[in-house]
Structure 1
Amino acid sequence: MNKIKLSKLWDSLHSSYWFVPTLMATIAIALAFAMLNLDRAGTSGSRENLGWIYTGGADGARTLLSTVAGSMITVAGTAFSIVLVALSLASSQFGPRLLRNFMQDTGNQVVLGTFIATFIYCLLILRTIRGEEYNAFVPQISVTVGVVLAIASIGVLIYFIHHASISIQLWHVIGEVGSDLDRTIDHLFPEKIGHGMRGHKQRWVEEIPTNFDQEASPILATSSGYIQAIDDERLMKIAKSHDLLLRVKNRPGKFVVEGCELVMVWPGERVNRKLTKQIDDAFILGKQRTEQQDVEFCVNQLVEVALRAISPGINDPFTAIRCIDQLSAALCRLAEKDFPSPYRYDEDNNLRVIASTVTFAELTDDAFNQIRHYGSSDAAVTMRLLEAIALIATRTSNKKDRAALLRHAQKIERGSREGITEECDRQDVEERYLEAIKALDQR
């Protein structure tokens, strides 16, 4: 299994509420058997020297473990109910896109796993306790470990109450999405402008064969869904080993329908069933978008929160401004990154893959278009958009990137003239617009 599929598998496990609790329950089962073996192997004299070991009888041990087990399953049910309430609140207030972030919360998963693991451990120890009417056996070390787990569970419960109250606060949600966006940017665009070591010189588009469109054969999607990841290394190896030129039609994040073109292969006569399967296996499709190779997904999450905030039913421009601040920080980061060329070469400097890549202009469109449209009547939101453009301009050295920012500044300024009725507010917007233009000209 290659690293792309392993990364996808880990992402699926990390986004589930069953993996960590199941893993912790398995550890609890192993711990229970290990402690019981230790009790059976130890001598009573050696235990009496340890003052912290449980020294009660069978009835006391049963009562203690029964109480711990009953309370743990009750607390686990309560914690699960609180998590469901948080998910419902996130879906209604922040948007369904952010449910994935709550599902990936490792803290909640560990909390549920701790309660379930303690419950299972106590049950397994409880079944082995025998009174004097039978062959008496009280696993004193095992019972002591159960008490320790109960005390640890109390600490986890206190953490959960604090964590649950923090995780649904708006500043925390926006900050977490912003952090995810920064990590995705650093992962997908590792090289900074002026600091990247190019392995091959970028060629011109004339290297594409003139008969490419006529002689290329398509590789079709075998199912419908969002492209979650593409194994670029696998495509390069396939293209080199078969002496092919591949043109990828869609990038991660795009939705494809079964039977649509995924890749165009040149020369087309070399396409066979085995090659088709190899190329299809390089694409991972799913029912939802992920941030694994899709930087636009994180941008859209912030935009969705901002749009809900400035909707007439909520009317919360401060939240929208927070989202704009995070978007401006991300675009500043992107402006300093070296976007990879769509033309990919092998070790022999032969063009092998033409990828579909995202551009800085497209990301600025994703970040600003909808907020500009729906926030055109809000002076505070409009001014913060122009301030964001002025800030991003100080980090932008590419002529095309500055042109994209200038286009958005002009759209924002035109929209404010129609949407903002107060003359003083329009003048404030005009000042911010001139500052943005000045920053773009100076850069």
Structure 2
Amino acid sequence: MKVQLFKYWDALRTSFWFIPAIMVFGAVVLSAVAIQADHLAKGEGWLASGWVFTGGPDGANAVLSIIAGSMTTIAGVVFSMTLVVLSLASSQLGPRLLRSFMRDPPTQVVLGTFVATFLYCVLVVLTIRRGDEDAFVPHLSVTLGVLLAVISLGVLIYFIHHVAISIQANQVVARVGHELIDVLERLFPETIGQGPAGESASAPDAAFLRRFDREAEPVCSSGDGYLQFIDADALMALAVRDDVVVRLECHPGHYVVAGGPLLRVWPTGKRGDKLAREVNAAFALGNQRTSGQDIEFALYELVEIAVRALSPGINDPFTAIACVDRLGSALCRLATREMPSPYRHDSEGTLRVIAPSPSFPTMLDAAFDQIRQHGRTNVAVSIRLMETLVLITAFAHRPADRAAILQHAEMIRRGAWLSFAEQEDREALEKPYRAVKQALASPAP
């Protein structure tokens, strides 16, 4: 159940209707409150201030009708501008970045402002009454409608500025880089299922792991799609309830096929239809990857921008270098984090869940492999990759991480010597390469 809530919340965040719907509801409430205030004051007290609308029914109807008509026109313009931005982002930077643009709160608030102002004016117009005895003009409500129109004008000016800024490549890269850092901060270090603080999540003996491989039974998926979320608490509760050990066979970001194993259960004989339904309920599948629990997806968004920038049709190495800088910033943080143990214990210290998690070398491969392969003929990109490795080395302290950094430095250097035609370009790459070697030869921080 919890993973479904996560899935629906992620879908709401990337929709254009959720925040506008909330603002429309707020407009309905505001119109009701303003009209009630007009009824209570009978209009007399407000007219003395000099700032309140003082016209009659026809004037109030005309003012609100003009505002409502203007809001529909402006809302159409804003929707058109938004679609143009989405089209440019999809073609130039990659279709997977559309979620980032659709999740942009300022755009959602701007759309909601115009729709809410339109609805507010329509609701107030409906309360205007003409006649000698029962005439009613909501002076305060009309004045508030004029104020909302002025605010909407300011919002339109802000939106034009926001669109002009948001489609700049460096701004897009910076926004995606900040999202990557947010995902990293949320996912590392991982603490699910480790019981009380200070309890060691030690690995079981090798004999148990071999027995698990031989005897564990799979629990299969009931559907197809990309794994978006896993309810780790639910899996831990199931394992404790049935007194079993489970091992995940996939992690967020993997594509799951119906009938393929989601996890394996040991001891045998405890698998059943009820367990299969409960396990499937703890896994949320979707049509695309998301960054909720998938840090590789957040990395690949920056990698996609860099690879597209290095394509012959675009040929923009400066955007690729900006992506490398953001990736380096995330990897420096990741190198300082303790990787979560795959062995998760319950509150009594009993092993219940085996959940392999991404490692730093895996993340380094995901971040640099494709950029290195597509940018091997570009001197500036290759040099920046090597300089970023120098920077990451200062934060890496695990031997496996430092070995992965050296491996990437060697691959970049070999690619450069095969691709660079000028000796001076090769020598320019040798300087940061020697810096990597020297940093790795020093004791780990």
Do both share a fold (TM > 0.5)?
yes
Q: For the residues of structure 1 that align with 2:198 and 2:400, how far apart are their CA atoms?
A: 21
Find the aligned partners of 2:274 and 2:50 in 1 and give their Cα distance.
69
Give the letter aligned to residue 334 of structure 1.
L
Q: Displacement, 1:19? A: 0.7
Shift of 1:207: 6.3
Partner of 2:76: 77
1:277/1:117 CA distance change after superposition, 3 Å: same
1:54 maps to which residue? 53
Give 1:208 deviation, angstroms. 3.0
Match of 1:170 in 2: 169
Alpha-carbon distance change, 325 to 376 in structure 1, aligned in 2, over 3 angstroms: same
Please say if 1:203 is aligned against 2:219.
no
1:182-218, Cα deviation, whole Å (9 max, x unpaired): 11111111379xxx95422422452635432343221
Match of residue 418 from structure 2: 418
Q: Is the 8 A contact 1:234 1:282 kept in 2?
A: yes
Deviations 1:113-138 (A, max 9, x none): 00000001111111221223683111
What is the Cα deviation at residue 34 of structure 1? 2.1
- C-alpha contact (below 8 Å) 1:191/1:337 kept by paired residues: no
Structure 2 CA distance for aligned equivalents of residues 297 and 240 of structure 1? 31
In 2, distance between residues paired with 1:209 and 1:324? 39
Task: Report 1:36-51 matches (<5 A).
Answer: 36-51=35-50
Taking the aligned partners of 1:47 and 1:185, their CA distance within structure 2 comes to 54
**Contact kept in structure 2, 1:228 and 1:293, CA below 8 Å:** yes
The answer (yes or no) to whether the contact 1:248–1:355 under 8 Å persists in 2 is yes
Offset at 1:317?
1.0
Q: Partner amino acid for 1:72? A: M
**1:236 matches 2:214:** no
Q: How does 1:77-96 map to 2 (within 5 A)?
A: 77-96=76-95
CA contact (8 A) 1:75 1:115 kept: yes
SS in structure 2 of the partner of residue 228 of structure 1: strand
Distance 2:75 2:99 in 1: 22
Change (3 A) 1:223 1:201: closer
Q: Is the 8 A contact 2:43 2:139 kept in 1?
A: no
Which stretch of structure 1 is more off in the superposition, 116-125 or 131-140? 131-140
Specify the alignment match of 2:215 in structure 1. Answer: 215
Alignment of 1:35-434 (within 5 A): 35-132=34-131, 135-190=134-189, 198-206=198-206, 208=208, 210-434=210-434
1:252: how far off?
0.6
Measure the CA separation in 2 of the matches of 1:208 and 1:337: 29
2:12 aligned partner, one-letter code: L
Distance (whole Å) between structure 1 residues aligned to residue 408 and residue 283 of structure 2: 34
Percent of pairs with identical residues? 47
Aligned residues: 439
Instruction: Give how far 1:275 is off.
Output: 1.3
Alpha-carbon separation, structure 2, partners of 1:148 and 1:368: 52
| Structure 1 residue 295, shift from structure 2 partner | 0.7
Letter in 2 for 1:130: R
- 1 CA distance for matches of 2:205 and 2:112? 55
Contact 2:253 2:296 in 1 (8 A): yes
Q: CA deviation at 1:419?
A: 1.0
Q: 1:298-343 CA deviation, whole Å, 9 max, x = no partner? A: 1101111111111111111111111111111111000000110111
**32-41 vs 204-213, which moves further:** 204-213
Deviations 1:333-358 (A, max 9, x none): 00000110111111111111111211
433-442 or 13-22, which moves further after superposition?
A: 433-442
Alpha-carbon separation, structure 2, partners of 1:207 and 1:338 = 27
Deviation at 1:50, TM superposition (A): 2.7
Q: Any gaps of 5 or more consecutive residues in structure 1? A: none
User: Do the aligned partners of residues 155 and 205 (structure 1) sit closer, same or farther apart at CA in structure 2, a change above 3 Å counting?
Assistant: farther
**Is this contact kept in 1: 2:27–2:119, CA < 8 A?**
yes
Q: Which AA in structure 1 matches 2:182?
A: R
Take 1:299 and 1:49, find their aligned partners in 2: how far apart are those partners?
A: 61
**Following the alignment from structure 2 to structure 1, what is the Cα–Cα distance between the partners of residues 338 and 54?**
67
RMSD: 1.7
Q: SS where residue 270 of structure 1 aligns?
A: coil
State the one-letter code of the partner of 1:274: K
CA deviation string 1:40-70 (max 9, x = no partner): 2222432333322211111111110011000
Tell me the distance in 2 between the aligned counterparts of 1:39 and 1:338. Answer: 62
- Give the superposition deviation at 1:429: 1.2
Matched residue, 1:440? 440
State how far apart, in whole Å, the 2-side matches of 1:203 and 1:366 are: 27
Secondary structure in 2 matching 1:208: helix
SS at the partner of 2:269? Answer: helix
Work out the CA distance in 1 between the residues paired with 2:26 and 2:380: 53
Residue-by-residue CA offset, 1:372-394 (whole Å, 9 max, x unaligned): 11111111111111111111111
Secondary structure of the 2:51 match is coil
Secondary structure, counterpart of 2:85 in structure 1: helix
Output one character per residue of 1:71-93: Cα deviation in whole Å (capped at 9) or x when no partner: 00100000010000000010011
Distance 2:208 2:171 in 1: 48
Answer whether contact 2:189 2:340 (CA < 8 A) is retained: no
How far did residue 11 of structure 1 move?
1.5
Q: List runs of 5+ in structure 2 lacking aligned partners.
A: none
Q: CA deviation at 1:241?
A: 1.1
Aligned to 1:237, what secondary structure does the other structure show?
helix
In structure 2, the residue corresponding to 1:132 is in which secondary structure? Answer: coil
1:249-272 Cα distance to aligned partner (Å, 9 max, x none): 011111111111001111221111
Contact 1:289 1:297 in 2 (8 A): yes
Q: Distance in 1 between matches of 2:30 and 2:97?
A: 36
CA distance in 2, matches of 1:197, 1:214: 33
Contact 1:207–1:351, Cα closer than 8 Å, also in 2: no
User: Could you tell me how far 1:291 is from its partner in structure 2?
Assistant: 0.8
